[in-house]
Chains A and B, each alone.
Chain A
Amino acid sequence: MSDNLINLTIDGHEVSVPQGSTIMKAAEKLSIEIPHFCYHERLSVAGNCRMCLVNIEGAPKPVTSCSWPVSEGMKVTTACEETKEARKGVMEFLLINHPLDCPICDQAGECDLQDVAVSYGSDRSHYCESKRSVDDLEIGSKIKTVMTRCIHCTRCIRFATEVAGVEEMGATGRGENMRVGTYVEQALQSELAGNMIDLCPVGALTSKPYAFTARPWELVRTPSIDVMDAVGTNIRVDSRADEVMRIVPRENAEVNEEWMSDTARFSYDGLARNRLTTPMHKVSGKWKSITWPKAFEVIAKAHKGVDADRIAGLAGDIHSLEDLYAFNDFMKDVIGTDNVDGRMDGYALNREDGLGASLMNTGIAGLEDADAFVLIGTNPRHEAPLVNTRIRKQALKGAPVLMVGEDADLTYTSTHAGTDIKTLETLAKPTTKLGKLLKGKENIAVIVGAKTVLTRADARAQIREILSFCEKMNVARKDWNGFNVLHQQAGRAGALALGVTPEDSGMDATAIYKALKGGKIDVLWQFGEGDTSNKSLSGAKFSVYMGTHKTDTAKEANLMLPLAAYTEKDGLWMNTEGRVQEAKAAAKPPLNAKEDWKVFRALSDVFKSTLPFNTLKALRENMMEDWPILSEEYWGTKQEFDIAFKVGKATVTDTAYTAPVDSFYLSNEILRASPVMAECAAENGAAKFKPNMKKVS
């Protein structure tokens, strides 16, 4: 390794960096700051802003440190008069046509141009010609544009082309008439467009929903985890006076790099709309606000004399580990029923099959080690956009991507191999046209769409076939486990890990739906909104809905209990690769809403069987004792899990896989409550959807 290290000096300090590094990287190692605008670590090098010019001894003119490769013995100066002069010059050029509208610019306070101008610019300009003004663009409900502010760094163009994979942004015109835009004015058709807001070093592209709502210095920043998909994107929730003002990504190279999907970024307005804020009781068809003690009385009354076997509990899609743990214990130990399921869409595997059979074994970052992909019944672009960007990286390097199921535009070249399980037989034969694509590939990643493949009636047979395909292709071996299940729901991995499923003879979700229809359930606990695949939840004599929003299913219930949303509570979340990550509360639950575990704890008193925790800390300790894989030492890391799937004899059917996502922008109750998401859905071709804004009175 030492052979490949290059020694150089920057401003007199010696540093060794790997061959092929740039001066910028070397300076970074020495903590020497070189100002820049166009350079971004995760994008290609453009070298056009000219802000990072440095001097190399012996070079005829200054060079861009973002692009210049280091060489042995190179002597670089970053702070000499010449570079200072060069930076001042570039700064002045950038500012001559940049409007002085910082007071009305949303970027102010976190603007690269502002910061760099203060540090490296001049306090006056001798420019006295007219300034350029540029027409703004209308590019959808996510991004507000003020194109006069654009400094043509082309970061947005490079992001759209390289990472998001939609070649919609580009530059037209020459010289000072160069315009960054979408060629044809249209809403951006990308699930990752919002990242351009973060990338834009100035206020040319800013968040449209966030426009003029807050200043960065007023915001309280709370680290959190996104729950709009199962990726577990690391986010920062910015709030002001207990109101979420915006959500931006945090960097985590192993999960989301530094990107986030648009549903995660723009759905926060759904947290403030259509919320359930106080317990409500339906009396003769009319909803009435009641107090918590009164609600508990109603519950106690409803349970009187009811056989535990006729009580069922369903946990929805967005729950933290603590909440699921409390729910599970409450149902099983306090109520005493085994009719408990956290897989409302009918997902067929459980903890006994091994978590490895239900999670993404390569890990999200690990997908970048794969040299071929087989996507079975999944559309990662819509199910998990940030998994898709990882696949895209490999696809651009030439890795074949074979799709089994519904064909879709994944933003890179993919081959539609077939629509059903039989396709795998063809793929396993190296002589077939499709099989040839996988021939000689060492690290094949198989990604199974949980929603499409593993909720089918023949799911267990499906997974048997897929696992046997994996064996044939040597996908799962000691040094490479390429079998992956991709979930859509943020809470699903946690529900499986905690065993929120029937333990003995209890009914699972599918059986519960059937029993509800047959009138065999007296009390239904519906904990949060879940995807029931259009199965009805009515039929119980009494049903309790506990959740954040006044959804349609909530209104079917007899009692609604308000809970805290994901931004309003501390919680642990397990993502689709089994990584446990901690989120902190950024706001308080609205009005009378409570944190979920507290409600279960209080209810356990009502049933005279107190749950053994009084604090979140105690709950976590209990939970970790029961489930050591959730221990603090594993937080944030990707663990390895076994596959213990027992091969059954169920017969597999070869009906085609259905599309995994109806509408990317409307896939859970928070998104459905968000007007911004409704607009996005409409812009992206979905039928005009009106969020449910009607008040329940």
Chain B
Amino acid sequence: MSSESEPLLRVENLKTQFFTEAGTVRAVDGISFDVHEGEIVGLVGESGAGKSVASMSLLRLVESPGEIVGGEITYKGETIFGLEEGPDGELQEREDMLSNQEMRDRIRGNEIAVIFQDPMESLNPVFTVGGQLREFIELNRDLSSEQARQEAVEMLREVGIPDPEQRYDEYPHQFSGGMRQRVLIAMALACEPSLIIADEPTTALDVTVEGQIIDLVDDLQEKYGTSFIWVTHDMGVVAEICDRVNVMYLGEIVEQSPVDELFYDTKHPYTEALLDSIPRPDKTVGELDPIEGVMPEAISPPSGCRFHPRCPDAREVCQRVHPENKQVDTAEGVPHRAACVKHDAFDVGYDESVPLAKSPQVTADSSANTETSVTDPERGTAGSSGGEGSE
């Protein structure tokens, strides 16, 4: 995980917007992250945070009325998306940007593959499982039909499907959910891509199967050295599988850090709230603490920090200042970034600012604690929710 070398994928200030009749929806609003070789990078957030749109943007598969309007996506030194100022002063697509045909023939499937959320819906019901896998291999790897068939059977075996020769000729509805997800993983792996975008691949599965799938991905990842972007809302899965994590809220990345730091040295109140809302083996609480309210619409995001209406640490300044995702700490040489003005990296007068009126005692208590506790991983997370009834 050397951050010195050129990353496999670099996303800078990516903006994807949907131009609807009700107005412009800024689904992805200036996110930056990178993925190094052999790394599993998490993309976490509530529903509607823009995770899926962000991952589809990487393949330039955003459908109308959506459009990538800004930023740069570089993959292995090639420009997947980039804009430059044209002669007329308007932004135009850069010349070195891959054409649609190149994206289709070289990148999608071959270099970057996707595993979709719902295994029940992601296989074509009218063709046999093997036929689809074979077609996909044939399409991307220039093999003869017979070779592709062999390869398909081999891949099915690889992802742990018993009797692959026999299951090859069966239809998707004859497979269970977990089996289908295995098939989809086989499909994604079939062309040995360098990067796989896993879009909530275990959300539709029950926890036992989820566990099996995660183990499988872990094993395969070790074997093939494939990088993953793991899109999920499940912090448990993140802890299990990811190397680094990007937490998204309303189209922005609010915290970015290696996985351990995210859990034990949480820097952003939103991440904290996410962690408080799930049961954790390292923390016993009487009652879980859900995040207040729902995520606002991306069509009219709140002023200042977008999380401030729901944030327990919100102060007056949060309504005015929109924090960037700044480096606030370093863990083992990897920067830990957070977009929250309560950190010293932001000098906007958070400490002097008046807490917002909502729930004063919670705000005062936790903000007082965070300043001291964040440096101490042992007490860090417990301290921040100290008043909540730890036993």
A and B: interacting chains: no
